[in-house]
Amino acid sequence: MSGSTFTRSAVVAAAAALAVAGATGTAFAHVTVSASDASKGGSAVLVFRVPNESASGSPTVGLGVEISGVTTVDTETVPGWKAVVNKDSGSGVTTVTWTADPGTGIAAGQFEQFSILANGLPDKDELIMPATQTYADGQVVRWDQNPGDGEPEYPAPSVTLRDGQSAGAHDHGDIQATASETESSKDTTARWLGALGLALGALAVLAVIGIGVRGRH
């Protein structure tokens, strides 16, 4: 391969790598939420992941999340941030906001995670929680588009809520299956012990017979 050909190949490869990296960065630049144990009417730890995607490099200094239909919320301490839970007149949770201490925040190229324990989740298939991200330079990004509408540019964080009763029935079934497997294991062990006992008994009888025969001689 000539030097010029190698150079062109290297440039093409580098451009492709940058394109992939750019696409990946865009795909993961959204404010997202995850919850592995979220069920209807139950409690769950919701973890919001907030990356900094400011073009000017300004730090993120605020996050607000709308949460409707949740009874109570407990926030996890995040060093350098103050959390406030807002409620309506009926004592239901409406929003949770985090504000960075002066001179701090999420720097460009970094991310932060904010966790809450949500109790009394609503009886619905999906919990959509619009979020507002505020930067130190005054820029405000609203992540409030329905995530189910194609591929929105600013999708709201959302989690799927599984059915609590189905989960309970599934767990009960798992318990029954485990119990059956345990009984089967016990039965198999008993059979092996019984067979071993018979074998040892047969060997003992043969040994006694052998001793008697040798005694006669």
**Same domain, yes or no: 60 and 72:** yes
Sign of CA dihedral 120, 126, 130, 133: positive
CA 72 to chain CA centroid, nearest Å: 21
Query: Do 60 and 134 form a contact (C-beta atoms < 8 A)?
Result: yes
User: How far is Cα 64 from Cα 94, in angstroms, rounded to an integer?
Assistant: 10
Q: Identify the band that residue 212 occupies on the pLDDT scale cut at 50, 70 and 90.
A: low
Q: Identify the band that residue 139 occupies on the pLDDT scale cut at 50, 70 and 90.
A: very high
Residue 34 in this model has a pLDDT that exceeds 70: yes
The range of the structural domain enclosing residue 18 comes to 1-28
Q: Show the tokens assigned to 13.
A: 């490869």
**Same domain, yes or no: 197 and 99:** no
Residue bearing the bigger pLDDT, 196 or 76? 76
Give the mean pLDDT of the chain: 76
Q: Is the pTM of this model over 0.85?
A: no
Q: How many domains does the chain have?
A: 3
**Same domain, yes or no: 24 and 35:** no
Residue 152 in this model has a pLDDT that exceeds 60: yes
By C-alpha distance, which of 151, 3, 158, 135 is closest to 68?
Answer: 158
**Same domain, yes or no: 58 and 18:** no
**Same domain, yes or no: 18 and 85:** no
